[in-house]
Amino acid sequence: MRIITEVKPPFITPSRKRIGIYCRVSSKHEEQLASLANQVSYFTRFVMNKPGWLLTDIYIDIKSAETIDERTELKRLMEDCRNKKIDFVITKSISRLGRDTVDLLNIIRQLRTLGIGVLFDAENLSTLEPDSEFIITILEAYAKEENESRSKNTRMGLLMRAKNGTSGLYKRRCFGYYTDKNGDLQINETEAAVVRSIFEMYLNGESLVGIIKNLGTTGVKTATGKDYRNRNKEKIHPLQ
């Protein structure tokens, strides 16, 4: 008697797309670090909720986007892509990856040659889509022009406030002065005597470290009320 046996094909685990998240802010200011934390949290959840996606690594730079050379995490991302560790890259926006159009397109083309796409979440644009490079060039040029215009307006505003005397930069609390009820700086005669003694010590050849030690032993406080004796090892100016 002939026995027919059913042969089942072996189970093959479907491959998962390995995702790299790139996040960048330009400084360590509190609001910038908060933005960075939000980026990491948002994209981590975004990847985890995508079937077939696997979060491989998160790359974080706290650097300006003007140049690539100093962005160590971006260079690490590119190296991992070349080593076939990443299949797809996600970042917040075009400006997060780069502000220089030439450098930005160079990154995108290198990744495309490796078969790796980039998703710009804010623009809802993937570099694997047709005509994406053309769209990115237009958006990047527009963003760069807008940023330069904003910087120009900010500088002009600071200059105008300095000219008409409304700038708050000239009313900051500093040693030797106090702020009156109108918010204007007035000479604090007690602290002014200390300021004069600092200049006298400096003209007599005393070093900055020596001046700071002298202020500490005489019980002089800084402009913010701190004790110089606890700051001898710090790189501070005597009038801070």
Q: Where are the domains of the chain?
A: 17-145, 177-230
Question: Which one, of 13, 140, 16, 22, lies nearest residue 81 by Cα?
Answer: 22
Q: What is the model's pLDDT at position 232?
A: 46
CB 112 within 8 A of CB 121: no
Cα(63)–Cα(71) distance, integer angstroms: 6
Instruction: Identify the segments of the chain with pLDDT beneath 50.
Output: 11-13, 231-238
Q: What is the model's pLDDT at position 150?
A: 67
Q: What is the model's pLDDT at position 167?
A: 67
Using a cut of 0.85, tell me whether the model's pTM lies above it: no
Q: What is the model's pLDDT at position 12?
A: 46
Per CATH, the homologous superfamily of domain 17-145 is: Resolvase, N-terminal catalytic domain (3.40.50.1390)
CB 176 within 8 A of CB 220: no
Cα(16)–Cα(134) distance, integer angstroms: 30
CB 99 within 8 A of CB 144: yes
Q: What is the model's pLDDT at position 161?
A: 72
* Cβ burial, residue 74 (10 Å; 0-12/13-18/19+): buried
Amino acid in position 226: K
